[in-house]
A and B are shown apart, each in its own frame.
Chain A
Amino acid sequence: MYIIVVGGGRIGYYLTKALLDEGHEVLIIEKSATICETVNDELGSICFRGDGCETATLDEAGTSRADMLIAVTGHDEDNLVACQVAKHKFNVPRTVARIRNPKHETLFKKLGVDVPISSTNVILEHIEQEVPTHPLTHLLEIRDKGLEIVEVKIPPGSTTAGKSVRELSLPEGSKLALVIRKEGKHHVPTVNTVLRAEDRIIALITPESEEALRNALRGE
């Protein structure tokens, strides 16, 4: 695949390295001459100096034959514009933008960015997992289907401990996929499975029903 990466900062650099290792053809577009030089010294001549939001630069970089454009500068607005120009001017089939303000996620999707990735949210989710008392942890997002896989812990003394799955009022469309017991055993729950305190439940849900699921499982 021919992939264009806009922004040669830390994310752009390591991303490019990984993509090159996978055997892709990669070009970094970077404004700063110093960064360009460093990248070219370390990764070979793959850094093109220019403004990745400018039609002229993208044209020179051969964007019309690119399979993908990934914009990872530190500015949301620059990433948005790079993706929009790539998409609407050069018909790039897939655009990915890094975003810092999590609120921009919906807007960017609406405006033609195929995959907006909120670095803030990604970091938050990882930290969440490390907080032992956190009631619901995001494990994985299935973007194109609007679903996510989450983990909910049943706290000690919860009113749902001792209840079977049938007795819970789970939100519509949610599925319990796995129950992991304290002692390490795990199984696929049925309607008859009785929950215990400190069970960890892996479930598939829509983002909207997160709260309902958490309440149903934790008994709040």
Chain B
Amino acid sequence: MKVVIMGCGRVGARLAGLLDTDGHTVTVLDVDSYSFRRLPPNFNGTALVGNGLDEEALKRAGIEETDAFVAVTQGDNRNVTAAQIAKHIFNVPRVICRIYDPLRQELYNTLGLETISPTKIFAQLLKETLES
């Protein structure tokens, strides 16, 4: 599977590494090349400097042929916008987007985006851990 990951933070880099190890073709996009230091040393995928809100940068990252697009930058709005570009302009078959704000996550879920709110999941997990 071909995957484009936008945002090479801790989550983006780790996901890139895991997918790469499993033999998937991974391209990571970040506005800051310094972020790529987080990628594992044996990473076989592509690391590209570029803004995921820019259609040209997305094309360079191979968005037109990719099977999946994952938006995991620090900005909810950036993730939501890039995910919608991937879904509605480039018709990427699978688009997943991180939204910290649980309310915004619910809204975009109802609008048809596949979203994950780490805030919601982690708070729930902590609660369960504390109560167990």
Contact = CB atoms under 8 A, between A and B. Distances in A.
Nearest to B56: A103
Contacts of B54: 101, 103
Contacts of A88: 107, 110-111
Given A80-B81, A81-B76, A101-B54, A53 B104 contact: yes
B78 A77 contact: yes
Contact residues of B: prevailing secondary structure: helix
Contact of A85 (B53, B88, B104): B104
Contact of B81 (A81, A85, A89): A81
Contacts of A77: 53, 75, 77-78, 80-82
B84 A55 contact: no
Contact of A89 (B53, B76, B88, B107): B107
Contacts of B126: none
A107 B88 contact: yes
Interface residues of A, number: 20
B104 A101 contact: no
Contact residues of A: prevailing secondary structure: helix
A111 B112 CA distance: 11
B49 interface: no
Interface in B7-51: none
B77 A75 contact: yes
Nearest to B99: A81
Given A54-B101, A81-B80, A107-B88, 11 more contacts: A53-B104, A77-B77, A77-B81, A77-B82, A80-B81, A81-B76, A85-B107, A88-B110, A103-B54, A104-B53, A107-B89
Interface of B: 53-55, 75-78, 80-82, 84-85, 88-89, 101, 103-104, 107, 110-111
